[in-house]
Each structure stands twice: as structure tokens, then as C-alpha cells.
Amino acid sequence: MDPIVWAILLMTIGLALVMLEIFIPSGGILGFLSAVTVLASIYVAFANGGAKTGFTFVGVAIVGVPVTIVLALKYLPNTPIGRRLLLGVPTEDEVLSEADPRHALLQLVGKFGKATSAMLPGGAVVIDGRGYEAVSESGAIDKGEPVEVVMVRTNRLVVRKAKEMPPPHVGDDLLSQPIDSVGIEALDDPLA
């Protein structure tokens, strides 16, 4: 077999070992082996191909090793080992203090209300009897139209035009509901 083929094979194995060192924590053993194989590849290229081939392999090593490391680090978080090794990025809820007003606003997502001013795109809405600043998700919303809260952006609600207002939520307390809505007929005595 041609010695240059051996040099190419050693370079490929060296770059693969660099990638394995990123994915499999080995205490530097795989990193040491990758360095040895890349240097052996360069030695074989100089010894059998001359200076031009040797410097070509040096260039491949100088470019290939960092590119391999960057690619491995890019794909590491998507692997099962990477998800166990790396901590996830905290969500916005995890880093907000309990006193932050956005916590109260986040509770309004999915609720319905009415626009109290024309929203072009910003304006005011009333949800559960309380006024809030809001921004329309898309398009203008006229005063008095029903809106639905879609999300919270900074300290403002993002709303969209709702098809219709849902019926008001009646509590679970049967005694506070009208008798007609509970499904019980009136207690009139038909014989009297």
C-alpha cells in the first residue's frame, strides 16, 4: 500500500479520535492518541511524499483539528451524553424573581378581555376587570372588540382579536349559580 494512503488513514483516525475525545470523557487518553496519530500522519507524509506533501498534511491538521472540535461541540448538546453533561439554559421563569410583574402577566395568557382603546398596534385592554397595556399581535383592533392574550413580551401583553367572548367562568360552588344553569327544576309543588 502506498505510504501516502497510510498518512491519509492516520490523519482520518486522528481527527476521529479528536471527535471521540469530545463525546467520550477519557481523561485525555483519546486526546493523546489523536495527537500521536496526527503527528504520525505528518511524519509519514514528510518521509514518503517530500516537503510539499508534508506541509499539505500540516495545513490539513492545522485546519482539520479546530474544525473537528467546533463541529463536535456544535452537535454535542444534541446527543444523550451531551444532554447529561451540559446544563440546560435556564428558562425565563427560572431567572425571574417572584416579585417581577411578569409573573402576574404570564397568568393572563389564554384569557379573554376587551379592548378599551383602539389598538394601532398598542393600546389598552381590560381582562378580569383590570386594565393592562397591550400590543396587537397583528393588525388593528377596534375599541370594544374581544381580545385573547397570546403571550407576554417585556412588560406588555400581546393580544389578538378573538372570534367571540367565551361565556364567563362560573365557579364550582353550586350555591352561587342560578338554579337554571345547574339543571335542577324549580321546587314548585304542582299539587298546591
pLDDT tens-digit readout, 115-140: 888 888 888 888 888 888 888 888 88
Q: What is the CA radius of gyration of the chain?
A: 34
**The pLDDT of residue 127:** 85
Q: Looking at domain 97-161, which CATH architecture does it have?
A: Beta Barrel (2.40)
Please, are residues 114 and 125 in contact by the beta-carbon 8 Å criterion?
Answer: yes
**Cβ neighbours around 29 below 10 Å, total:** 12
CA–CA–CA angle 103, 105, 110 (5° rounding): 120
What residues contact 79, with CB distance under 8 A and at least 6 apart? 23
Instruction: Give residue 109's pLDDT.
Output: 86
Q: What is the pLDDT of residue 36?
A: 94
Q: What pLDDT is attached to residue 120? A: 82
Beta strands in the chain (DSSP E): 112-115, 122-127, 130-136, 146-153, 156-161
What's the confidence (pLDDT) of residue 182? 54
Q: Is 28 exposed, middle or buried (0-12, 13-18, 19+ CB in 10 A)?
A: exposed
Q: Which residues contact 151 (CB under 8 A, 6 or more apart)?
A: 109, 157, 158
Q: Please say whether the beta carbons of 109 and 151 come within 8 A.
A: yes
| pLDDT lower than 50: segments of the chain | none
C-alpha cell of 186?
324549580
Query: pLDDT value at position 136?
Result: 87
